Amino acid sequence: MIRFILGKILWLIPTLVGITIVAFGFVRVLPGDPVLLMAGERGLTPERHAELTHQLGFDRPIWEQYFDFLWKVLHGNLGDSLVTHKPVLNEFLALFPATVELGLCAMVLAVAIGVPVGVMAAIKRGSWFDQATMTTALVGYSMPIFWWGLLLIILFSGILKWTPVSGRISLMYYFPNGSGFMIWDALMSGQKGALTSALSHLILPSVVLATIPLAVIARQTRSAMLEVLGEDYVRTARAKGMPPRRVIGIHALRNAMIPVITTIGLQVGMLMAGAILTETIFSWPGIGKWMVDSISRRDYPSVQGGLLMIAAIVMVVNLIVDLLYGLINPRIRHR
């Protein structure tokens, strides 16, 4: 097990180096001049443009710029934003709780609904419930996030007026020096109505972000359960007269959850990608919206640092998922 963990960690090093190359190259191929966007075209003389370009180091060879970026990353420095002039790492950490809160709520919603639906669809294979849920899952997986989000805003915020359109909480509430997790801050503030306001702002973004993971988890759970239900040990358990709930819950579901957990781990990357659109649609002040704004402003350090941090988080989550295999099924523990 220790050898397996060390091997996985060692593989993270070349992967992260490769990601730095991708992140560095991605922003360089974007059209637009960051100096013009930062200083403004009006009153920017060629001499001043050349001076700012030299100050920012954009006139150096591209390989030299990359190794300077890599050297800073190895020392825990992602650079300073060209727009706010604040450290990129500080900005990322300040906005990350908002994305974590949204992503956790979406994942809990996807797992809490997707796994039971998938199990029931497998048990009732071929029934109307199976066909209806799997068709709905296919539609949910195929639905564009931006279109689905706008539909929900029009219906629940515009017509029914049940939920707010955007933001994390009403402007009536303010929590100085909060943790960044709005639900927790609202709960601990003791302000009347703060928690209700935070939850109402979280509903629509969570539903939109959870739609695709929910569909994937439901279909994967059904597929894994159907495979396990046909195994000999499940038929033997039924032949011994074990209660159906025990056969499904202990013998079948435990083994079927192995590929499902893999799917859940992979959905973390999908959540980070989906959060970019979801946060933009709902003006959710998280990493996704920050990345979109940074790209539009050609803020090279912010885009590079944001991509690197997101990739590192996804890799760590996938490593944790690999380690969970042995806890779920002792037969496949890595030694």
Stretch 157-173: mean pLDDT, rounded? 89
Are 56 and 152 found together in one domain?
no
| Strand residue runs (E) in the chain | none
Stretch 26-53: mean pLDDT, rounded? 75
Q: Of all helices (H) and strands (E), which one includes residue 321?
A: helix 300-328
Please report which confidence band the pLDDT of residue 43 belongs to, taking 50, 70 and 90 as the band edges.
low
Question: Quick check: is 81 in a domain?
Answer: no
Helices 300-328/2-28 angle, 10° precision:
160
Are 104 and 226 found together in one domain?
yes
SS3 of 201-257: the string is HHHHHHHHHHHHHHHHHHHHHHHHHHHHHCCHHHHHHHHCCCCHHHHHHHHHHHHHH
Round the average pLDDT of the chain to a whole number and report it: 84
Structure-token pair, residue 201? 């702002």
CA 78 – CA 16 distance, rounded (Å)? 14
Q: What is the pLDDT of residue 334?
A: 47
Q: What is the pLDDT of residue 330?
A: 57
Are 61 and 95 found together in one domain?
no
Q: Is the pLDDT of residue 333 over 60?
A: no
Please report which confidence band the pLDDT of residue 27 belongs to, taking 50, 70 and 90 as the band edges.
confident
Are 56 and 150 found together in one domain?
no
> Which one has a higher pLDDT value, 37 or 81?
81
Q: How remote is the C-alpha of 8 from its chain's centroid?
A: 22
Residue 126 belongs to domain with CATH number: 1.10.3720.10
Are 47 and 126 found together in one domain?
no
Q: Is the pLDDT of residue 275 over 80?
A: yes
Q: What is the pLDDT of residue 101?
A: 92
Compute φ and ψ for 96, nearest 5 degrees: -60, -40
Number of domains observed in the structure of the chain? 2
Question: Quick check: is 84 in a domain?
Answer: no
Are 105 and 56 found together in one domain?
no
Are 31 and 115 found together in one domain?
no
pTM metric for this prediction: 0.83
- Residue 166, burial from CB neighbour count under 10 angstroms (0-12, 13-18, 19+): middle
- Residue 292, burial from CB neighbour count under 10 angstroms (0-12, 13-18, 19+): middle
Residue with tokens 């997986």: 141
CA 188 – CA 120 distance, rounded (Å)? 39
Q: What is the pLDDT of residue 172?
A: 87
Residue 299 β-bridge partners: none
CA 217 – CA 112 distance, rounded (Å)? 10
Domain end call among 74, 101, 125: 74
Q: What is the pLDDT of residue 91?
A: 92
Stretch 165-177: mean pLDDT, rounded? 85
Are 20 and 94 found together in one domain?
no
Stretch 13-37: mean pLDDT, rounded? 81
Stretch 8-28: mean pLDDT, rounded? 82
Are 38 and 127 found together in one domain?
no
Q: What is the pLDDT of residue 28?
A: 80
Read off the pLDDT of residues 59-114 as tens digits, 9 standing for 90 and up: 888 888 888 888 888 888 888 888 888 999 999 999 999 999 999 999 999 999 99
Domain end call among 41, 74, 107: 74
296 in Cβ contact with 286 (< 8 Å): no
Stretch 160-175: mean pLDDT, rounded? 88
Domain that holds residue 33: 2-74
| Dihedral sign (CA 102, 282, 143, 311) | negative
Q: Is the pLDDT of residue 1 over 70?
A: no
Are 44 and 93 found together in one domain?
no
